[in-house]
Structure 1
Amino acid sequence: MAIRHIVLFQLAAADDSVRAAHAAEAKRRLEGLVGVVPGLESLTVSSNAAFHGTNYDIVLDSVFPDVAALEAYQVHPAHVEVADYIGTIRSARAGIDIEI
């Protein structure tokens, strides 16, 4: 059974233009993992469109063929590098993995 991996990030920057730049860079880096990390079937990153300050700022929506592929993604060096960057710009993270 395939796995949808969804992660929400609240960005730490108080300034709107800095937060937008961080969101764009996170999107660029995360979407750059497609074709690099084996088993990553799809990945999109979208920014929040309403209720700023209440909602999370960006969402990652990705699909893997199974939990083993998701686990391999978590430790893949390219993902670790991106996750390290996001760790420097986020204040909160929430995630869920669902069968699809």
Structure 2
Amino acid sequence: MIRHIVTFTLAEPSPEKRAEQAAFISSQLRSLVGVIPEIISLEVVVDVEKTPGNAHVALISDYADQAALARYQVHPDHVRVSSSIKPFFAGRAAIDFEV
């Protein structure tokens, strides 16, 4: 199984607006569950903002193998969601590893 973790740093300086954006991002990413069959599990977490420099949102998802992750990444619904949330990001980092 492959675990895919992506962290997102939001560009918005206002904590209130960042919270709104994080909720939207979480909602959009969670909407993919049940739509993209390759997703075994998907969780979105929001940082408690206690440590300066932390990412604001993280996606943690599992796939059967690299091929399933690759299909997820090009799935039209993933592409649509990615496009809708990308404007909020100042930075993104990812790691994929075997579980």
User: Could you state the TM-score of these two structures normalised by the residue count of structure 1?
Assistant: 0.95
Counterpart of 1:66?
Answer: 65
- Pairing 1:19-98 to 2, within 5 Å after superposition: 19-49=18-48, 50-51=50-51, 53-98=52-97
Matched, 1:16 2:23: no
2:60 and 2:20 mapped to 1: Cα distance?
20
Output one character per residue of 1:31-74: Cα deviation in whole Å (capped at 9) or x when no partner: 110110121011010011221x3100011000000111100010
Paired amino acid for 1:55? N
Find the residue that maps to 1:68 and give its secondary structure: helix
2:73 and 2:59 mapped to 1: Cα distance?
14
Find the residue that maps to 1:6 and give its secondary structure: strand
Paired amino acid for 1:67? Q
**CA deviation after TM superposition for structure 1 residue 17, in Å:** 1.0
Counting matched residue pairs gives 98
2:57 and 2:85 mapped to 1: Cα distance?
11
Runs of 4+ in 1 over 3 A off after TM superposition: none
RMSD across aligned C-alpha pairs, in angstroms?
Answer: 0.7
User: Could you state the TM-score of these two structures normalised by the residue count of structure 2?
Assistant: 0.95
1:94 and 1:86 mapped to 2: Cα distance?
15
Unmatched 5+ stretches in structure 2: none
